[in-house]
Structure 1
Amino acid sequence: MSRVHDMGGRFGDGAVNASDDATFAQDWHARALALTLAAGALGQWNIDISRHARERLSPKDYTRFSYYEKWMGGLAELLIEAGVVTREELQSGKADGISPLADRKLLAEKVAAALAAGGPADRPSDIAPAFKRGDKVRLRARSGNALVNGGHTRLPAYAAGAIGEVVIYHGTHILPDSSAHGLGEAPEPLFAVAVKSTELWEHPENPNDEVILDLWQSYLEPA
């Protein structure tokens, strides 16, 4: 089964407004980003766990929430699940004493460096790349997480089973399907794969278009 967030290629959601290049449409959006960054600096979860928290929002909330409301909804759950705050503290907006994580707070003068450093996901691995540039590959027919039922994955459902061509080998990187569930980093080869629009949609607007997807080796097989 898929989650409501996996919306790629779906009809009925309207056109993307390419002219909307506002960084923050509303003032509180910047605060949402700041809060997410500050909470992440506490070291209680990784980016894959964070993404999965947003995916786990109820379908009712996910469809009615704006982009940054999804961020806040997922963050609230993470803060409680990780024991950073209690549900009562979150509801009242007041801390019950000093947090044991207080010494990990992200100071204002360190924000720029933290943003510049990012969160590199490249890791050494004993798994050799099975493909090279120019190889034809088929994406796994079942897009779901193969390790955890209903778990996080970076293989979009609309591309499952499609045939593409490897255009870049990125090296070995943390496998989100494992990392999001505390099963270890499990690094494996990561490839950029070009998939023709005709492989993805029955009536593509531009048949010569292609979509480039970053895909882990376990998502792929020889075509």
Structure 2
Amino acid sequence: MDGIADMGGTQGWGRVHPPDREERVFAEDWQRKAFALAILSSRVACGGVNTDAFRHALERLDRAAYLDDGYFGRWLNGGELMLTEHSVLAPGAVEARARNLRGEDVEEPPVPEPDLPRYAPTAEGSLRSVATSPAFGVGERVRARNTSVPGHTRLPRYVRGHSGVVEIIQPAHVLPDTNAHFMGENPQYVYSVRFDSRELWGADAEPFTVTVDMYESYLETTA
């Protein structure tokens, strides 16, 4: 889906400032707790580890929840969304608890009956084996499909409909598009595809190349 998380290639976000090497991972103590709660929330809501489902939760946050609350606030918001969707938390439960902790007298919604997905990965990690041969070869010119799906995808919006060259064929990986929705792992080969900047952003773009890892179903042959 084309949500706030699909920011690659867009303009107007300002200069990228690399972090100081001495910068702490968690600048404030609450960030450490938010990180742990987000990881735990994701595992509880998914019935196990499903990074794709968690990413899908993040990309469905609104602009404020994704940007204004910062990186670790975003993770916390994503974990809360997953817990609410799978009825581990009642809608409004976190807000009600926070208001009560501030001294307000607010009735908290009752704890619902959880509706957890039946999820069982076939192996650890995301690497899988497939019986078929790769559909594309190294050096082959391919085009990223110009499609926008309503659910989760790792196909960046800025490469859709543009052509590049396959540089590397990687082993098959679990397909995020289906795994995020608990619809099966559907493993596919992954291709490192090199794009020219002028192909992506026009003739006036500064000349450089961008390499994007793309699942087989994201690609098609060029005419």
Pairwise same-fold verdict (TM > 0.5): yes
Aligned pair in 2 of structure 1 residues 193, 70: CA closer, same or farther (>3 Å)?
same
The match for 1:106 is none
User: What TM-score do the two structures reach when normalised by structure 1?
Assistant: 0.77
Distance in 1 of aligned mates of 2:196 and 2:20:
27
Give 2:80's aligned amino acid: A
Match of 2:205 in 1: 204
Aligned residues of 2:170 and 2:192 also touching (Cα < 8 A): yes
Distance 1:89 1:9 in 2: 37
Distance 1:32 1:63 in 2: 15
Contact (CA 8 Å) 1:137, 1:165: kept in 2 or not? Answer: yes
Relative to the length of structure 2, the TM-score reads 0.77
The alignment partner of 1:184 has SS state of coil
- CA drift of 1:41 comes to 4.0
CA deviations over 1:9-59 (Å, ceiling 9, x no partner): 111110110244532233322222222233344452611110111111123
What is the match of residue 49 of structure 1? Answer: 53
Maintained 8 Å contact 1:54/1:70: yes
Distance 1:217 1:184 in 2: 16
- Partner in structure 1 of residue 218 of structure 2: 219
Instruction: Provide Cα deviations, 1:100-134, integer angstroms capped at 9, x if missing partner.
Output: 9xxxxxxxxxxxxxxxxxx6111223443111222
Displacement, 1:141? 1.7
| Mapped partners of 2:165, 2:137: distance in 1 | 9
Matches within 5 A, 1:40-189: 40-42=42-44, 43-44=46-47, 46-87=50-91, 90=94, 91-92=96-97, 120-142=125-147, 144-145=148-149, 150-189=150-189
Partner of 2:36: 34
Q: Which whole-Å CA distance do the structure 2 matches of 1:162 and 1:25 have between them?
A: 40
Instruction: Give aligned pairs, total.
Output: 197
Specify the structure having the higher radius of gyration (Cα): 2
Give the percent of matched residue pairs that are identical in Structure 1 and Structure 2. Answer: 37
Tell me the CA shift for residue 89 of structure 1. Answer: 5.2
- One-letter amino acid matched to 2:217: S
Contact 1:122 1:172 in 2 (8 A): yes
Tell me by how many angstroms 1:161 deviates: 1.3
